Each structure stands twice: as C-alpha cells, then as structure tokens.
Amino acid sequence: MQINFAPAAASDAAIVALPVEKDGLARTIWGAIDGATLAAKAAAAARFTGEAGSIVELFVAQGDTVRQVLLVGVGAGGETEWEKAGGALVAKLLTSGATAVTVDLAGTPDKPTAKALARFAAAATQRAWRYDQYRTKLAETAKPTLETVTIAGAPEGIDAAWATQDAVTRGMDLTRWLVATPPNILYPESFVEKVTAEVEGLGLEITVIDEDQMAEFGMGALLGVSQGSRREARILALKWNGAGADAPTLALVGKGVTFDTGGISIKGAAGMEDMKWDMGGAGAVAGAMKALAARKAKVNVIGVMGLVENMPDGNAQRPGDVVTSMSGQTIEVINTDAEGRLVLCDCITWVQKTHSPATIVDLATLTGAMIVALGHEHGGIFANDDMLADQLLAAGRASGDLLWRFPLAPAYDKLIDSPIADIKNVGPRGAGSITAAQFIQRFVDTGVKWAHLDIAGMVWADKAGPNYDKGATGYGVRLLDKFVADNFER
C-alpha cells in the first residue's frame, strides 16, 4: 500500500473520503462536492454519527459523472480513533475494484495531530496486508485492487511521525509473514534466512548459534526440545547499537517454536495446524528489531530468538527426562508440551552471560491457560519490578497491543519444585500461566528487571480487527517499539 501526502485534494479524485468526528456531521465542510445538503441528509438517515471506524458510502452527481464519497468516523479524534478509521477505510475499499482514494482533511474542522494522522496511515497500510502467495485460484473479485491512499492537507510534522509509523508497519509485516507461513516452509534455519535477509543493510549485528555451539554452552533445556526433530535448532540474535558502543541495556527474548506437536505429550489433532504460530514471540522480537533499526532508534538493545521444532520421533525427549540448562539448574520434564519455557530459559541465560542487560522482556505464546483467562483481548504480563510492569502496561494502552498483569509469588513457586531435580517444567492444572512464569523467573539473575509476556491469544485472530484481517496480527511490534521509545531512547 502506497501512502502519499499532498497539500490539497485533486479536483478530479474519483473517490474521496471525508473524516467526520462524533456528532460532527453538521460541521463537515464538503468543499467542491456537489449535492452536499442531500448527501448529509442521506448520511443522517443511515444513522451515521461519526463513531470511530464507522463508514457511510454515498454517490453524488459531479457534472456528467458520479463521485464516490465515503464519510469515515473518527470518534473523539484521538490517535486510537484515527487508527480505527484508517483500517476501516481500507477494509471497505481493498477488494472493491478501486485503485486509489483521497482522504481530504479540508472538510474536517478539528484537524488531527501529526501522530494521529500517522496512526491513520499506518492502520490503512497494516489492514491491507495479505498472505495470498499459496492461493492459486483466488477469484478476481477477491483480489486486492486498492494501491494508493493520498492524504490531502496533512499537518506540520507528518513526515517525521509517518517515518516512525512506517518503520513499525514494516516490522509488523515481517512478524505477520513469519507467523502466517506454513511449517514446511518456516523452520529454524529458514526463519534465520528470512529474517537476516529482511534486516540486511539496516545496521544490525547478527549472531547465529547452531546446535554444536549450543551443546558447548550447555543448553540442555533447549536442545532437549529440538532432539525429536530432523530440523536443527538455532538461536538468532540481532543487536542494535543506536546509542553508541555501550552494551545493550535491554534484551528482548522470543520463543520460536516453529511447529509444536507437543512432542511425546502429543496434542490432540483438532486445531494442531494452529501450532505453526507457536513462534509468535520470536516473530514479534524480529519485527520489533527491524522497526527499531529502520527508524534508527537511539537505544542499545538485543533481540534473541530461540528457534526449535517440537516433534515426537524415536529420539524425542520423554516425560520423566531430566535435562541440565545452561544456568546449571536441572529440570525434570514432566510434560514435553511445556517446551517453550525450556527454550526461553537457555536463551535468557545466554543473553545474561554474554551481554549483561539490566532489563529483559520475553514474549511467548506460552500457555493455553492464558487464553482461558483473557481470551483474545489482552496479552498477559508478569514482572519482578512494578515500574517495568507499569511501563509495559502504558505502552500497551498507547499502542493498542493491550496487556493485563498477573501475580508472581513464592506460593506458586513451590508448585514447580521437583523431588528429583532443581525444578520441574509444569505444576498442577491450576494457575498454569503463573507457574510457567515462575519457572522462567528462576533463570533471571538477581538484580535484573524482567517481564514475561504470555501472548498466546494475541498473535492470531479468527476475525478481523482494526488494523488486521483474519490471521496473523503482528501483535507485539507496536508494543515493544512504544515501550523502547518511551523508556529507553536517549
């Protein structure tokens, strides 16, 4: 999707969109559009009130021809309302046969801020994202036609605001591609190839760790997950030094299980195809690192992605096995389907030993219990530091990638004590998301601020949202970018 900014709308624009604030129809300036009075009455008859994301489509006479006019509700005019409007406009026109639309701000009495308008443009671009590469018989009427959104009369500062949102959108595109791609195409090695190709030229320092190196490091937890697959595991680390030569102050760590059968503790067949997106945490980290590098963020940060495939062959890890993590802690594997925490613990230990970040945020599609608790409206957050939790919650509200905090406590920690090892990888049925977080916390060094984001319900959607269609959402990229911008950039 091409976004253009123009000083004024072209007089011959065939399709014009007019933003309208809540209850602001009477104040809308129609400009050169003929039949404005009748059109306004038609919109009112359709009960259009300017609610954010609502649209009324009108056709008005324009000389010897007809002009299509879309009234697009922007609600109270805040950033999130403009974002809803941008997504709704593209959803309406994407496969309509239209190739271009002009958004004319001349008729909007209360002009949006540059940031709000950039969110509008970003949502328009994000909502246009599709994954059609394997659809060979797509009907012509189902193919996207909309190519250009021109925004006329943008406020001062739009170029800088759009540059930031464009970088985030490109990061989301990468995340969505990774999440949507089938597991016979995307596996640890091809994940590395795709991401490294996508970030080439952005100035990121790339480290790839193979299984031989993992064995030398003593990563028995991660390697135990991988041992049932013929696809070798990888760790991919992307380091961005945007604030000088100092060590990274922040580490982002993502679970990247490119397909999860559950291993010997095999999942039920119904819905197992969804487990192609069990690498959504790693996908979010990859997209966020691309966004930060693309906009030249003034921060030092490292993104670490633990990439494995969890399969049930004759060499697969068994329930009852004991493995030794890189930290030296031993783990009794009770359930091989609780594999994500085994991947994360070794990645967290590695980044602490090699880069000593003061703050770690990990992201993982970790537990089905999180979906039971929160559905698909919020990701869960656990943190050992209240300020860090508040910063992430605030970033979630501002970006639209919402979070809800859950507790950590010694009482839960006792539920994962093992009678034969230092820790077991699952507790009882109750509090499954909490005990998973308690497990990860045991691998965080003293004094390190840490947050765990369980995003199991957020990386994939069965219905369209404000800035995505059904499928991969790109969740986490906007959240991490906003978190970094507000709390770490110099």
Going across the sheet that includes 449-454, the strands are 205-209, 234-241, 300-310, 250-260, 359-364, 449-454, 379-383, 403-405
Residue 313 in any domain: the answer is yes
Residue 350: pLDDT band (50, 70, 90) is: very high
Q: Report yes or no: 127 and 468 within 8 Å, Cβ to Cβ.
A: yes
Structural domain range at position 19: 2-154
Instruction: Tell me, yes or no, whether 231 and 119 share the same domain.
Output: no
Residue 159 in any domain: the answer is no
Q: What is the CATH number of the domain that holds 99?
A: 3.40.220.10
Residue 176 in any domain: the answer is yes
| Catalytic positions | 267, 341
> Can you name the residues that pair with 370 across neighbouring β-strands?
none
> Can you name the residues that pair with 101 across neighbouring β-strands?
149
Query: pLDDT (tens digit, 9 = 90+) per residue, 96-152?
Result: 999 999 999 987 888 999 999 999 999 999 999 999 999 999 999 999 999 999 999
Please tell me the total count of domains within the chain.
2
Domain's final residue, options 123, 154, 185 = 154
Query: pLDDT (tens digit, 9 = 90+) per residue, 33-75?
Result: 766 677 888 888 999 999 999 999 988 877 777 889 999 999 9
Instruction: Tell me, yes or no, whether 149 and 174 share the same domain.
Output: no
**Rounded mean pLDDT, 295-301:** 97
Query: pLDDT (tens digit, 9 = 90+) per residue, 198-228?
Result: 999 999 999 999 999 999 999 999 999 999 9
Instruction: Tell me, yes or no, whether 143 and 186 share the same domain.
Output: no
DSSP string, 277-322: GTTHHHHHHHHHHHHHHHTT-SSEEEEEEEEEEE--STTS--TT-E
Nearest-angstrom CA–CA distance, 120 and 319: 50
Do the strands 15-20 and 2-6 form a parallel or antiparallel pair, or are they unpaired?
A: unpaired
Go through the chain and tell me how many residues it has: 490
Domain's final residue, options 119, 154, 189 = 154
Domain's final residue, options 107, 131, 154 = 154
Q: What are phi and psi of 471, to 5 degrees?
A: 120, -145
Instruction: Tell me, yes or no, whether 132 and 189 share the same domain.
Output: no
Instruction: Tell me, yes or no, whether 213 and 259 share the same domain.
Output: yes
Nearest-angstrom CA–CA distance, 222 and 306: 8
Nearest-angstrom CA–CA distance, 172 and 286: 9
Q: Report yes or no: 443 and 327 within 8 Å, Cβ to Cβ.
A: yes
